[in-house]
Structure 1
């Protein structure tokens, strides 16, 4: 189980670093993962599942990260 979580975290880091290297990944109280990304002094938090149930959940997280990063450019 620990290997799966470690592998999931590496995948999240690769996904986030497509957009920014200025980020934090922390466990959330709800059993999820809290991802905070920063751009130009602004920050957004996106939540990801601790263990994804299927490949679509990771695609959804990537979309949330991309959208949050893009919104910070407009703000």
Structure 2
């Protein structure tokens, strides 16, 4: 939960922790079920990391854009 607290300080920690847990759990089951290409472990690792990073980057609140001058 520390990662969630640090990454999403304004988020409901329980809800965001559950969402991240569900994502990782789902990815694990996709892998175990052979839905992710098992022939290239590096590609699977990259896909999982990219998926998690994408979720975190797109759901993290971003500072307001600077007004154009």
Q: Under a length normalisation based on structure 2, what TM-score does the superposition of the two structures give?
A: 0.40
Q: Which of the pair is proportionally richer in helix?
A: 2
| Larger gyration radius, structure 1 or structure 2 | 2
Q: Which has the higher contact order (CA 8 A, sep 6+)?
A: 2
Q: Which of the pair is proportionally richer in strand?
A: 1
Q: Under a length normalisation based on structure 1, what TM-score does the superposition of the two structures give?
A: 0.37
